[in-house]
C-alpha cells in the first residue's frame, strides 16, 4: 500500500536544490537582503553568531519562526479567536440564545454587528459563543489524539518486532475506513447514551470519537522518528546506564521528536474543527442550545440565494479563517523546526 505523506511540502524538502538558473533569475528579480535569506536560512543564522552571542535552540527556532510572516499573522489571528471565545461575555453584551422577536433578520448594523437571525438572536454573539465549542473540540481532540498517537507510535517504534507489526496494521486499518461515515454512525447512535456511567454531552462524545479517529497520523510520524533515533549513541548511552524503556522513550527520544509532533498537533486542530463543523452541518454534531460554527451554517442553510445569506457568511468565514490560520501556523512551525525544508 502506498501511504501518502500528508504534506506535499516535505517531498520538496529533501531536494532543497536551487538550480543555478533559478538562482540567477531570483537575484536579478530582487537584490534585497530577503532573497539571500530565502535562499539559505543558515547564512543569516551563522551571521548572527558572529556578533558574539551564542544562539540557543529556542532562539534559533524563534528567529526562524518570526521570519515566516504569514505564520506570525496566523498566530495572532488564532490568539484573538481564542481569547474572544474565552472571554465571550466581555466581547459581546448580547445573549447568544436570547430571542428578540421584534428584531428578526436584521442585516448587520451598529447594534448587531453580524445582524440577527430568524429568531432575532444576535449573530455576532452566536458566532463568538459557537467558537467556544468549535475551538474547545479542536484543541482537546488535538491533545487527546496526540497523546494516543505518541503512546502507540513510540511503543511501536521502540519495541519493534510483532508489537510494531500489530500496532501498525491497526493504524493501517484506519486508513481504509470511510472516516466521515463512521463518525456519523457513531455520533448518531451513541448520542444521549451513557457510557461507563458517564453522561455524554454531545461535545464530549464528538471529542472522544474524533480523537479515536485522528491519532493515526501522529502514531505514524512518531514511529518514524523513533525508528531513526533508537539506534543513536545517546539512546545507547542511556540504556547502558540502566535507564528503563519508559524513561528512554519519555526523557530521551520524545523530546527529539518535538518538531514533527508540534506541527502535526497543530494541523490536527484544523482537521478536528473541520470534521466537527461538517458533522454539525449535517445535523449529527452538537445539538441546541449548544452551538458550533458548523451548526450555525446549517441553521442558516436555507438563506443561500436570499438577501439573508449574511447568516451563512459569518460563521462560515469564522471556520475558514481558523483553518487558514492553523494551516499557515503549521507551515511556519515546520519551517522553523526544520531549517532544511523550504519551498
Partner 1 sequence: MLAYIVRRLLISIPVVIVASMVLFGFVSSSTDPTARFRLSRDPTLVERERERLGLNDPLVVQYKNWAGDFVKGEWGQSYISRRAVSTEIWRALKNTVQLIVWSVLLCMIVAILVGVYSAVRQYSALDYTFTTMSFVGLSIPTFFFALLAIHFLTTELRTWLGWDDPLFYSVGMHSADDKSVLDFFRHAALPILTLSVQLVAGWSRYQRSAMLDVMGADYIRTARAKGVPRRKVVFKHALRNALIPLTTVMAVDVGALFGGLIVTEYIFAWPGMGRLFVDAIVQGDTAVVLPWMIITATFIIGFNLLADVLYGVLDPRIRH
Rounded to whole angstroms, the Cα distance separating 172 from 220 reads: 10
Whether the bond between 329 and the residue before it is cis, its omega within 30 degrees of 0, is: no
Q: Which one, 106 or 298, has the nearer CB to partner 1?
A: 298
Least distance from C-beta 241 to partner 1, angstroms? 40
Terminal-residue alpha carbon distance, the chain: 28
Q: Which three cell numbers stand for residue 198?
A: 458517564
The nearest distance, CB 63 to partner 1, in angstroms, is 21
Q: Which of 275, 296, 329, 284 lies closest to 131 in space, CA to CA?
A: 296
Q: Which is nearer to partner 1, 90 or 176 (CB)?
A: 176
Least CB distance to partner 1 at residue 54 (A): 32
**Least distance from C-beta 203 to partner 1, angstroms?**
18
Nearer to partner 1, 163 or 185 (CB): 185
Provide, rounded to whole angstroms, the least separation between the CB of residue 61 and partner 1.
22
CB of 149 to partner 1, least distance (A): 19
Tell me the H-state helices in 177-282.
Answer: 179-190, 202-214, 216-229, 233-240, 245-247, 258-281
Distance CA 142, CA 56 (A): 28
User: How far does Cα 228 stand from its chain's mean position?
Assistant: 25
What's the closest the beta carbon of residue 229 comes to partner 1, in angstroms?
Answer: 26
Positions in the binding site for partner 1 (CB under 8 A): 1-2, 4, 8-9, 11-12, 14-15, 17-22, 26, 29, 38, 172-173, 175-178, 180-182, 184-186, 188-190, 270, 274, 277-278, 281-284, 294, 297-298, 301, 304-306, 309, 312, 316, 319-320, 323-324, 327-328, 331, 343
Q: Which is nearer to partner 1, 193 or 232 (CB)?
A: 193
Q: Which is closer to partner 1, CB of 184 or CB of 257?
A: 184
Q: Which C-beta is closer to partner 1: that of 129 or that of 308?
A: 308
- Of the pair 203, 331, the CB lying nearest partner 1 is at 331
Burial 164-173 (b: 16+ CB within 10 A, else e): beebbeebee
Strand ranges inside the chain, DSSP E: 194-195, 198-199
DSSP 154-179: HHHHHH-HHHHHHHHHHHHHHHHS-H
In DSSP terms, which residues pair with 198 in a beta bridge? 195
Least Å distance, CB 37 to partner 1, is: 13
Classify 240 as helix, strand or coil.
helix
Nearer to partner 1, 22 or 98 (CB): 22
Distance CA 279, CA 209 (A): 12
Amino acid at each position: 500500500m502506498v501511504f501518502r505523506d500528508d504534506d506535499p511540502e516535505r517531498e520538496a524538502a529533501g531536494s532543497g536544490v536551487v538550480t543555478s538558473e533559478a538562482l540567477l533569475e531570483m537575484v536579478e528579480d530582487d537584490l534585497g537582503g530577503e532573497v539571500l535569506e530565502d535562499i539559505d536560512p543558515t547564512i543569516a543564522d551563522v551571521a548572527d553568531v558572529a556578533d558574539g552571542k551564542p544562539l540557543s535552540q529556542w532562539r534559533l527556532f524563534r528567529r526562524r519562526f518570526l521570519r515566516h510572516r504569514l505564520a506570525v499573522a496566523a498566530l495572532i489571528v488564532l490568539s484573538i479567536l481564542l481569547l474572544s471565545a474565552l472571554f465571550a461575555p466581555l466581547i459581546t453584551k448580547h445573549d447568544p440564545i436570547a430571542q428578540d422577536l421584534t428584531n428578526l433578520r436584521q442585516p448587520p448594523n451598529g447594534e448587531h454587528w453580524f445582524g440577527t437571525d430568524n429568531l432575532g438572536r444576535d449573530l455576532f454573539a452566536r458566532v463568538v459563543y459557537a467558537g467556544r465549542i468549535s475551538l474547545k473540540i479542536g484543541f482537546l481532540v488535538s491533545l487527546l489524539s496526540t497523546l494516543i498517537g505518541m503512546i502507540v507510535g513510540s511503543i511501536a517504534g521502540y519495541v519493534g518486532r510483532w508489537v510494531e507489526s500489530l500496532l501498525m496494521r491497526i493504524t493501517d486499518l484506519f486508513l481504509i475506513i470511510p472516516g466521515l461515515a463512521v463518525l456519523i454512525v457513531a455520533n448518531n447512535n451513541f448520542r444521549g447514551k451513557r457510557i461507563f456511567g458517564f453522561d455524554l454531552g454531545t461535545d464530549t462524545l464528538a471529542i472522544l470519537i474524533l480523537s479515536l479517529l485522528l491519532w493515526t497520523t501522529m502514531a505514524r510520524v512518531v514511529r518514524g522518528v523513533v525508528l531513526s533515533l533508537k539506534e543513536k549513541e545517546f539512546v545507547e548511552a542511556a540504556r547502558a546506564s540502566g535507564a528503563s524503556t519508559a524513561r528512554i522513550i519519555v526523557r530521551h527520544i520524545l523530546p527529539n521528536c518535538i518538531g514533527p509532533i508540534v506541527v502535526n498537533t497543530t494541523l490536527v486542530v484544523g482537521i478536528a474543527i473541520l470534521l466537527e463543523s461538517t458533522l454539525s452541518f449535517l445535523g449529527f454534531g452538537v445539538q441546541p442550545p449548544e452551538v458550533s460554527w458548523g451548526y450555525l451554517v446549517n441553521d442558516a442553510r436555507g438563506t443561500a440565494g436570499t438577501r439573508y445569506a449574511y447568516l451563512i457568511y459569518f460563521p462560515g468565514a469564522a471556520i475558514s479563517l481558523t483553518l487558514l490560520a492553523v494551516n499557515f501556523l503549521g507551515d511556519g512551525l515546520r519551517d522553523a523546526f526544520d531549517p532544511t525544508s523550504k519551498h
